[in-house]
Amino acid sequence: MGFLVWRERHIKEKTLIIILSLCVGIVAGLAAMVLKWLIHFISGALTSGASETGANWIYIVYPVVGVLLACWYVRVVVRDNISHGVTRVLYAISQNKSRLKPHNMYTSIIASSVTIGFGGSVGAEGPIVYTGAAIGSNLGQAFRLSPRVLMILVGCGAAAGISGIFKAPIAGMLFTLEVLMLDLTTVTVMPLLISSITAASVAYIMTGYDLEFFFVQSEPFIMNRLLYFCGLGVFCGIISLYFTRVMNLMENIFSKLGAQWRKTLFGGVILATLVFLFPPLYGEGYGAINSLLNGDPGSIVDGSIFYGDRGSTWFILLYIGLIILLKSFATSATNGAGGVGGTFAPSLYVGCMTGFFFAYLINSLGIAPGADDPLSVKNFALMGMAGVMSGVMHAPLMGIFLTAEMTGGYELFLPLLIVSTLSYGTIRIFEPYSIYTMRLARQGKLLTHHKDRTVLTLMKMDSVIETDFLPVKPDYNLKQMVDTIAQSSRNLFPVLDAEGKLLGIVVLDDIRNIMFRPDLYRRMYVSRFMSMPPAKLVTTDSMEKVMKTFDDTGAWNLPVVDEAGHYAGFVSKSKIFNSYRRVLRHYSED
């Protein structure tokens, strides 16, 4: 406590945020390096003896073993839900005052490294975002910082995680702004940049200056291919929509299976079958991405039962097309069965396959600009990565800069812009939310860049419920009603039955004409002059729904009940407006 008091006296909050953002960048960058090393170590040790020229039965066993180990670790050791890392970070920001548990700083690293290293078809980026955000949150909590500052540090940790694992500092910051939807202000921009740059520097110091994916642009960017860039953008948007919808469909199926052993059995069978038939689905699949970025599609069938068909153009097209369609099933099966991983890398993977498939198909059909001047499958594979990621994440700027930073493909910046923008525009027609935000959006618990909606999301129902309204019973006579009015400072009275359920309300103005008539005191009962409120609010309603109810009814006060109908209190517009102003002022301070 003494140190905290000293800090308050000698270090200003803005200075402390800068210092902590640097610390978050260092620790999250190191965490990203540990996660990458663990995945590569486990994967390399397990697959070092795999055959390239035929089927490998280990692909049936390893992914299932990895899922079982991760599932056991989460259920027995962690005893907490650590799946859907990015979604849980979003939930913490909007509903839990940006507070994450201490174990989140390391548990996702352990569970995801086992899942992915053994062949689970997911990515490490979701877990490292969760880990980085937890590092920022817990460091801020140690200094007793406010929720507004914790939100910034959570964003710094998420940005540092992406930056460290991909060596992409700009993309890390854009991820926080576009996916986590933190506002870009003078307070947030510097900490985010410092954390991102620091984490990327840690990654470069520890692993050298090699890019994440090896890409050499041997074919020049030609502007007369504009029509094909536009076509790829729309195609990526459609694939993004398919990927998102399949992930949601599979998640719903797994949620209906009930017992965990059913989920593990169902998911394990799907995952083992797909990885055996399509070895590129093993783990993150970065090896397959590198093969396509180097124009070597034949190697994608290495280690499978289809090795003998690696020279057939049409078989390669069919094989890649099936991988595009089945990757979302493999990813959802991994998570549904109990594995821990994200959808970040799978979207990159599907994007690379999509871009390659698009250009390879056009060249094979002979409808390229010229037989002696075909489309560059390498360039289109790179553009596809940005396109599908932009669509799935609803983050076009992050998709553009992440792809460019990971591969060094800055000379393709204009086509990356075109493809990403069109992909994002295409999926927005059908799906307004990203794969991360749709779960919270349906529950009204999502922060957005819309200031009013964000403030309403941050407000809680229990903070605006007023309980100083005296209740009455329906069998009260007018004399008892008048006695209750004399004891109250309010002009509303809830009418409750013996179980405490709300039957109606009595409005003082409605009985003013009879309350001074003693001759009615013993003959008039509450059940005769009570009225029904224009609407009832439920304690679980979001504040956005509450405000919509007030707008629809025109009421100034509305009763609140729980889901069983028991009376909880009243909510007034004035109370909401005061709370709104307080939250807006608190989270808008620069």
Find out whether 315 and 80 touch, Cβ atoms under 8 Å. no
- What is the distance between the alpha carbons of residues 388 and 350, in angstroms, rounded to a whole number? 7
- What is the distance between the alpha carbons of residues 521 and 203, in angstroms, rounded to a whole number? 82
C-beta neighbour count of 492 within 10 angstroms: 20
3-class SS of residue 189: helix
The predicted pLDDT at position 201 comes to 95
Pairing of strands 567-572, 557-561: antiparallel
3-class SS of residue 504: strand
Cβ burial of 433 (10 Å; 0-12, 13-18, 19+) is: middle
Architecture of domain 223-449: Orthogonal Bundle (1.10)
Cβ burial of 217 (10 Å; 0-12, 13-18, 19+) is: middle
pLDDT at 537 over 60: yes
**Helix runs in 256-376, H state only:** 260-277, 286-293, 313-336, 344-365
The predicted pLDDT at position 541 comes to 79
Instruction: Read off the pLDDT band of 449 (50, 70, 90).
Output: very low
515-524 pLDDT, tens digit each: 888 888 888 8
Query: What average pLDDT does range 410-438 have in this prediction?
Result: 88
Delimit the domains of the chain by residue range: 2-207, 223-449, 453-587
312-321 pLDDT, tens digit each: 788 889 999 9
Tracing tokens 């059908």 back to the chain, one arrives at 430
Q: Which fold has domain 453-587?
A: CBS-domain (3.10.580)
Mean pLDDT, the chain, integer: 85
Query: By mean pLDDT, which of 116-120, 184-188, 544-548, 583-587 is the weakest?
Result: 583-587
The predicted pLDDT at position 443 comes to 61
Do the domains 2-207 and 223-449 sit in the same CATH topology, yes or no?
yes
Query: What average pLDDT does range 436-445 have in this prediction?
Result: 65
The predicted pLDDT at position 589 comes to 52
The predicted pLDDT at position 429 comes to 93
pLDDT at 143 over 70: yes
The predicted pLDDT at position 441 comes to 62
196-250 pLDDT, tens digit each: 999 999 999 998 887 777 777 767 777 778 899 999 999 999 999 999 999 999 9
More confident residue, 389 or 84: 389
pTM score above 0.95 = no
3-class SS of residue 50: coil
Residue 525, φ and ψ in degrees, nearest 5? -120, 155
The CATH number corresponding to 2-207 among 3.30.70.2740, 1.10.3080.10, 1.10.3720.10, 2.130.10.10 equals 1.10.3080.10
pLDDT at 558 over 60: yes
3-class SS of residue 569: strand
Query: What average pLDDT does range 12-39 have in this prediction?
Result: 92
Instruction: Read off the pLDDT band of 291 (50, 70, 90).
Output: confident
Q: What percent of the chain has pLDDT over 90?
A: 38
- What is the distance between the alpha carbons of residues 202 and 200, in angstroms, rounded to a whole number? 5
Task: Quote the DSSP letter at residue 531.
Answer: B
